[in-house]
Structure 1
Amino acid sequence: MTIQTPPDPTAAELAEHLPAAIVRFLREADPQHKANAHDLLSAFAIDATVVDDDGRTYTGHDEIHRWRSAEGSEYTYTVQITHVEALDDTRYVVTTRLEGDFPGGVVDVIYRFALADDLIQRLEIAP
């Protein structure tokens, strides 16, 4: 089911369509938000796995924290959510557009979330 995504959706609009863990991840991953490692990690199951856009895999809170701490820290960019889709009750796809001072300047990023017990169990990120 595709969820109609308004331009520049607010956190409240996202919360209507996405589970809290995904909203928390998206908020904490936004460079305009002052990231809080505890809040970010609270979105993930203890044994969660993240596969980043370079194909590297990070498992567990310690590795996910190190990944997020290093990810994108050398660039300045903005994030706009452009598409949200619920595949079923536990799988969601969120597409964002990043614009900034990184090579190429603009990229669409696809986040594929799999949830278990209302937490992110697996996140796959692809350009």
Structure 2
Amino acid sequence: MTQNSNLRSDLLPSTISGFLAAHIALDANTASTFFAENAVAVDQGQTFRGRNAIHDLFRDAGTEFTYTTEQIGAARIDDEHWVVTLRLEGNFPGGVAELDYRFSLRKNVIGELVIANHES
């Protein structure tokens, strides 16, 4: 059950807010440091295992496009599970995308991240 939705970004755990800041700045080196060594990331159905593979994902993702990113929602599911919704607008096919970033935390790192289309 969602305990708090539409959280401000400053109320997110520092691990998530730090990752998002680095990710939005296209800083894959910093973004990947927020993941456990054996973390898993799933982006649009493709699975990446381990910090190195996740680094490569964020290094290469969307580099062929120009876009802006805005956080439009956030929810705390429980102490270890959070969902942040980002809206991307740019020159990629469709021009607009709303994506849910579903985080599973392990202590102070991201153990799993699932990125999928936002369900309206």
For the criterion TM > 0.5, the same-fold answer is: yes
Equivalent position to 2:27, from 35, 58, 74: 35
Distance 2:6 2:19 in 1: 20
Question: Structure 1: where are the runs of 5+ without partners?
Answer: 6-12
Task: Spell out, residue by residue over 1:27-46, the C-alpha distance to the aligned partner (whole angstroms, 9 max, x if none).
Answer: 1111xx25150x21221111
> Quick check: which one's strand share is greater?
2
> SS where residue 27 of structure 1 aligns?
helix
Task: Spell out, residue by residue over 1:29-64, the C-alpha distance to the aligned partner (whole angstroms, 9 max, x if none).
Answer: 11xx25150x212211111100001x1111111101
1:45 aligns with 2:36: yes
Query: Would you say how many aligned residue pairs link Structure 1 and Structure 2?
Result: 115
Question: Structure 2: where are the runs of 5+ without partners?
Answer: none
Residue in 2 aligned with 1:94? 84
Task: Spell out, residue by residue over 1:95-114, the C-alpha distance to the aligned partner (whole angstroms, 9 max, x if none).
Answer: 11100000000010001000
Residue in 2 aligned with 1:114? 104
* Contact persistence 2:26–2:58 (CA under 8 A): no
RMSD (Å) for aligned C-alpha atoms? 1.3
Distance 1:36 1:58 in 2: 14
Residue in 2 aligned with 1:8? none
What is the percent sequence identity of the aligned residues? 37
Residue in 2 aligned with 1:14? 9
Give every structure 1 segment of 4 or more consecutive aligned residues whose post-TM-superposition deviation is greater than 4 Å.
none
